[in-house]
Homo-oligomer: A and B are copies of this chain.
Amino acid sequence: MPSRVEIFPLTGLPLINPGDDLAGMIVKQVRMKGLSIKNGDIIVIGQKVVSKSEGRVVDVSKVRASKRALDLARRVRRKAGFVELVLRDAKKVAKASKQVLIVTTKQGFTCLNGGVDKSNVEGERMYALLPVDPDMSARKIRARIQRLTNRQVGLLITDTHSRPFRLGQVEETIGLAGLDPMADYRGKHDLFGYQLRFKNVAVADELAAAAELVMGQGTEATPVAIIRGVGRVEFKERARSSELVVAVGQDLFKGTL
């Protein structure tokens, strides 16, 4: 058999609550399902369960809105508590209209509602926020999985993002540990000796998208996937999801939207 990439869904994980040992629950469920974690596996975790385990779930009716949030909420016709939550983790409001609220988060991700999201969170007024520091979350979960399994893995925390120019959402990486998010071809050569000047593949985002194929967004209850057999990934200890984000003022697409 030629080499292949495999993506395993981790089904049957219990609902996650604040304080839960997510890494321990993943390792336990992997065993329950007859799966395994091997050296070089990449474990992909949807942001929502990480946020839940870290207690980043908030009752929007109990949020005290600032003057700024109240003003913005009135303008965009959203609930003030919700807007307050979005603003608290925002570095910059990119767009605020009745149709859409787009912010750049403190972590640097430009996304709808700053990642504040209602889906798959129990309770009518409960919203999940992004982890405070997704790379830190990824490092902690990875370290514990490695300790429990004695295996070396890469770890990604992902979120579902809308994109400019293209319809529909795709899964993208917002936190990572143990692997280089990029596969950099710049300076390397193609089949005919031509030197590649721009190719720098966001392999962490491709892994996130691949994992979503088995994860789903509705009632699938599969927030974790294991990806095996990816030869393109460079495993390394020092890695940051900020490498996936365009620096302020540096966007090639500036002025196109």
Chain A residues engaging chain B, CB cutoff 8 angstroms:
1-9, 11, 15, 33-35, 94-95, 99-100, 102, 109-110, 112, 118-124, 160, 162-172, 181-183, 185, 188-192, 194, 196, 198-203, 205-207, 209-210, 212-214, 216-219, 221, 230-232, 243-246, 251-257
A254 to B255, CA, bound (A): 10
The answer to whether B217 and A185 touch across the interface, beta carbons within 8 angstroms, is: yes
The answer to whether B165 touches A251 (Cβ under 8 A) is: yes
CB atoms of B202 and A252 under 8 A apart: no
Does B256 contact A94, Cβ atoms closer than 8 Å? yes
Q: How far is the CB of A173 from chain B (nearest CB, A)?
A: 9
A256 partner residues in chain B, CB cutoff 8 A:
94-95, 102, 110, 164, 257
Q: B2, A252: Cβ atoms under 8 Å?
A: no
Given A34-B1, A205-B166, are A253 and B102 neighbors across the interface (CB < 8 Å)? Answer: yes
Taken together as a complex, chains A and B put the C-alpha atoms of A252 and B230 apart, in Å, by: 34
Q: Do A168 and B251 touch across chains, with their CB atoms under 8 A apart?
A: no
